[in-house]
Amino acid sequence: MPPENFSNIEQQVASLCEAHDCEPHRLLQILIQVQEIYRFIPPEAITSIARHLNLPRVSVEGAAGFYSFLSLEPAGNYRVLFSDNVTDQMVGNQELMRQFCSKLWLEPGKVSEDRLVSAAFTSCTGMCDHGPAALVNGQPLTNLTSDRIDLIADLILGKSPVSNWPSALFEVNDNIRKTGMLLDKPFVSGNAIGAVLARGPDATLAEIKLSRLRGRGGAGYATAEKWTGCRNAPGSMRYIVCNADEGEPGTFKDRVLLNSYADLVFEGMTVGARLLGCAKGLLYLRGEYLFLLEKLEGILKRRREDGLLGHNIFGETGFDFDIEIHVGAGAYICGEESALIESLEGKRGRPRNRPPYPATHGYLDQPTVVNNVETFACAAIIAFRGGKWFGKIGTWQSSGSKILSISGDCARPGIYEYPFGTSVQEILDDCGVDEAYAVQVGGPSGVLISWKELDRRISFEDLPTAGAFTIFKRGRDILQAVRNYADFFAHESCGFCTPCRVGTQLQKKIVDKIANGHGTASDLEELKHLGHLMKTMSHCGLGHTAPNPVLDMLEKFPGAYEQKLRNLSFEPAFDLDAALETARRITGRDDPAAHLP
Amino acid sequence: MNKAITIDGKTLPFEDGQTIMDAALTAGVYIPRLCHNPELKPHGSCKLCVVNANGRNVTSCTMPASDGMVVTNNTPELNEDRKALVQMLFVEGNHICPACEASGNCQLQAAGYYLRMESPHFTHFYPPRRVDASHPDIFLDLNRCILCELCVRASRDIDKKNVFGISGRGIDSHLVVNSESGRLGDTNMAVTDKAAHICPTGAILIKRKGYTIPIGKRTFDQKTLSEFHLGQVKQPEPDGE
């Protein structure tokens, strides 16, 4: 680990900014590098960056304060963030965190007094098939056990650089269990680009239309329509953006696509570039997947050398296109396309007011297409094999296949590709589930289904999903799962609009109150009321979907909360005994006399 | 050739580029709001001005009007939801009206009266928030900040100073000022700045002016929020002073 050098912040920051051409759009990338060097963002660095990029200091501080992986306070030479998805909780992440903290004399969320180490929870890191997982200085730790926690604590106490830690701690596998039209055959780079050049852009766009391809990020907008809108919009420059900010808890299929099918994804972006006349592509890689960056940069380099990116691609004069990777820094909201664009521009990831839509006013106010990783993979396959071939798989409204990230209570978690229209029961049979009680389809923003609904099908017309598929066996506490999801939304709300900023907090507090045995019938009514407010008044999809798990539980799993309710119509949220907790902690007391009866 | 929308059955003409809020204001139709001020670029964060347009809820201060749009605004359902939003703003901060200098001039308080809010309803958060008295003429009390960003926009777009910004995320979002110390006194803010007089609550107060107008003779002792906001079109001075 390089020694911290705070004496020459000005010099360090100046050279960093110059390496990014003092371009304000590179602000987030610069902040990420500052965080890597100092393990936090010192106030002097903020002032200096602002001066070099010619931005108001408040804008730099605003961006730095928005992203979870950037810290405005010292966070230790070793910053350990335990993934807190419900699947991590199922396999004991809370106990591991306690063990870690007690071994290192840490308080969760606070840095040790010697500024050596800090530990905290973070939202799902996309390692649900490798849980319990964590990040140390941005690198993924997988399959954590009590023994591994001891080892990690010893490595930290011995001040061993993370790069010297045993590689077994960082092992990430694809876990591909079932392949289909996308994952089946090895793809030969250049095949799709060659097909587009032979057929022409108009005819290829017609093939995409014929395929009835819909976006794989969840919302399911028709890809041909989105691309046509961007193509027809006036602008001096067009951009094609790949959304690899796979933040929905329980989803990890983009991790696998980028690890083993990156050529297919980049080829899809290049196909799009040819159709839309884009000269520049951007891939927004979630901060949790930083470990893929070097590999992806290498693939881009190879593709440039092979004439698949750069000038005169495939020998076609005037076909110029290249792809740049931007890294995120821990913000679920950046999966929302307009927030992602703001983040690409180096700003706080705050969803824009729409209209105008990105197709006409996107990145740098120019026509922009934002699509999911898997959508680009589909586009490449369609360009090569044709729309008719693609459209034969799946259902009429949901053509093609869907890659699912399966985790939770099953024998074989991992990646499964199915034709759209496959039933939940069939999927459960494949991944080895004895007695399913509930399945969260599409992550917390999706649908929580019960054991009575296993004949439902994965499709836009029934169960749309971006890919998360989290299984709960009989005996699992659904209230605990919903509590985890309520925490998640409260943590990830961007804070822009009132209903989501405050509503997600109120929802979390009430779910906590019920889980702690203080809930009453009026709290259930309040949850419905909050759900209505968030769904109808919020600014973007985060607020619209934040009440989904709670409302699904209220409707389908009354057993999960009924026995926890007090038999009263009202109980105050204020808990007198809990209010004494701070005093107990300060005085180090926990005896019966320090508690109220 | 004339384009028009209807709001609650009333037909209102509009010009291209106008939002639903613009069209309503021009015609003297009131849509409740807190973060919008016709002098500044629309923001769309408080969500009080959400209306239903052609069956969909939209934010009227940012949604462009389109010909034939059918809007419902002054309905018991929407006003109930707006009241809940005001209650949310009350409980997420520390708003103690009887002890606040801005009482009677405060738009959040006036919105509570306008929407017939009788209690905060939700559980109070009692967040620890900063106060900053470092500036010789201006007092900053974040306990009362509702994150409308009117000061951010006024300082950026009118004063051309960028004194204010937002940092943090979610419920931890908070106003920051443009100095390394984080103190308002170390910025170039002046008491004559637009940003010093645009706060709808009591988060930005002018020192030594708090009680020059006695309680009982203040803005919202004389008029409702609706009368005040509709008046803003003709005489764009949001502050009583």
| Residue boundaries of the structural domains of chain A | 9-66, 78-173, 177-391, 403-476, 477-597
User: In CATH, what number is assigned to the domain containing residue B107?
Assistant: 3.30.70.20
Q: Where do the H-state alpha helices sit in A414-546?
A: 424-431, 478-492, 498-515, 521-537, 541-545
Q: Suggest the residue from B21, B34, B47, B163 to mutate for an interface test with chain A (most A CBs closer than 10 A).
A: B47
Nearest C-alpha of chain A: how many angstroms from B35? 10
Same domain, B102 and B196: yes
Same domain, B212 and B113: yes
Per-residue pLDDT at B237: 44
Instruction: Identify the residue with better confidence: B74 or A583.
Output: B74
**Residue B85 near chain A (CB below 8 Å):** yes
Tell me whether 0.90 is exceeded by the ipTM.
yes
Q: Where do the H-state alpha helices sit in A39-142?
A: 43-53, 57-66, 86-90, 93-103
Per-residue pLDDT at A581: 87
CB A280 within 8 A of CB A235: no
What is the band of A568 on the pLDDT scale with cuts at 50, 70, 90?
A: low
Same domain, B49 and B119: no
Per-residue pLDDT at B236: 43
- For A271-293, the pLDDT digits (tens) are 999 999 988 999 999 999 999 99
For domain A177-391, which CATH number applies: 3.40.1670.10, 3.30.365.10, 3.30.1130.10, 3.40.50.11540?
A: 3.40.50.11540
Same domain, B150 and B218: yes
Checking if the pLDDT of B238 tops 50, the result is no
Per-residue pLDDT at A6: 66
Residues on chain A touching B50 (C-beta within 8 angstroms): 536-537
When mean pLDDT is compared across A444-448, A492-496, A583-587, B34-38, the lowest value belongs to A583-587
**Residue B179 near chain A (CB below 8 Å):** yes
Same domain, B162 and B122: yes
**Residue A44 near chain B (CB below 8 Å):** yes
Same domain, B32 and B122: no
Domain count, chain B: 2
Same domain, B117 and B170: yes
- For A159-190, the pLDDT digits (tens) are 999 999 999 999 999 999 999 999 997 889 99
Across chain B, mean pLDDT equals 94
For domain A403-476, which CATH number applies: 3.10.20.600, 3.40.50.880, 3.20.20.100, 3.60.10.10?
A: 3.10.20.600
Q: CA distances (Å), B76 to each of A538, B63, B79, B95, B223, in order? A: 19, 22, 5, 26, 22
Residue B27, in any domain of the structure: yes
Measuring CA to CA, which residue among A559, A505, A553 is closest to residue A528? A553
Per-residue pLDDT at B241: 38
Residues on chain B touching A532 (C-beta within 8 angstroms): 81
Residue B83, in any domain of the structure: no
Checking if the pLDDT of A573 tops 90, the result is no
What is the band of A20 on the pLDDT scale with cuts at 50, 70, 90?
A: very high
Residue showing tokens 């008295």: B133
- Percent of chain B at pLDDT exceeding 70: 96
- For A291-329, the pLDDT digits (tens) are 999 999 999 999 999 999 999 999 999 999 999 999 999
Selecting from A62, A509, A532 the residue whose C-beta is nearest the C-beta of B123 gives A509
Q: Do A493 and B81 touch (CB under 8 A)?
A: no
Is the C-alpha dihedral spanning A322, A341, A123, A180 positive or negative?
A: negative
- Domain A477-597: assigned CATH number: 1.20.1440.230
Residues on chain A touching B177 (C-beta within 8 angstroms): 58
Cβ contacts of residue A226 below 8 Å, gap of 6+?
A: A215, A359, A369, A371
User: In CATH, what number is assigned to the domain containing residue B28?
Assistant: 3.10.20.740
Smallest CA–CA distance from A509 into chain B, residue: B123
Same domain, B207 and B159: yes
Same domain, B41 and B158: no
- Percent of chain A at pLDDT exceeding 70: 98
Two tokens, residue B150: 């009117």
DSSP string computed for A142-173: -S--HHHHHHHHHHHHTT--GGGS-GGGG---
Selecting from A494, A506, A536 the residue whose C-beta is nearest the C-beta of B170 gives A494
Same domain, B114 and B51: no
Residues on chain B touching A492 (C-beta within 8 angstroms): 170
For the segment A24-52, the average pLDDT, to the nearest whole number, is 96
**Residue B84 near chain A (CB below 8 Å):** yes
Residue B77 carries which side chain, given as an amino acid letter?
Answer: E
- For A427-482, the pLDDT digits (tens) are 999 999 989 999 999 999 999 999 999 999 999 999 999 999 999 999 999 999 99
Residues A137, A26: Cα–Cα separation, whole Å: 21
Across chain A, mean pLDDT equals 95
- Domain A9-66: assigned CATH number: 1.10.10
- For A115-126, the pLDDT digits (tens) are 999 999 999 999
Q: Do A501 and B179 touch (CB under 8 A)?
A: no
Nearest C-alpha of chain A: how many angstroms from B172? 8
Per-residue pLDDT at A597: 72
Checking if the pLDDT of A596 tops 90, the result is no
Q: Suggest the residue from A44, A342, A501 to mutate for an interface test with chain B (most B CBs closer than 10 A).
A: A501
Same domain, B25 and B137: no
At residue A528, φ and ψ (nearest 5 deg) are -65, -40
Residue B62, in any domain of the structure: yes
Same domain, B126 and B207: yes
Residue B240, in any domain of the structure: no
**Domain region containing B31:** 3-74
Per-residue pLDDT at A578: 83
Residues on chain B touching A573 (C-beta within 8 angstroms): 123
Tell me the residues of chain A between 557 and 586 that have a Cβ less than 8 Å away from chain B. 573-574
Considering only the top CATH level, what class is A78-173?
alpha beta
Checking if the pLDDT of B102 tops 90, the result is yes
Residues on chain A touching B176 (C-beta within 8 angstroms): 58, 61-62, 65
For the segment A558-576, the average pLDDT, to the nearest whole number, is 79
Residues B173, B163: Cα–Cα separation, whole Å: 17
Q: Which of B74, B89, B109 is the last residue of a domain?
A: B74
- For A358-415, the pLDDT digits (tens) are 999 999 999 999 999 999 999 999 999 999 999 999 999 999 999 999 999 999 999 9
Q: Is A449 helix (H, G, I), strand (E, B) or coil?
A: strand
Q: Do A537 and B122 touch (CB under 8 A)?
A: no
Residue B140 carries which side chain, given as an amino acid letter?
Answer: L
Nearest C-alpha of chain B: how many angstroms from A530? 9
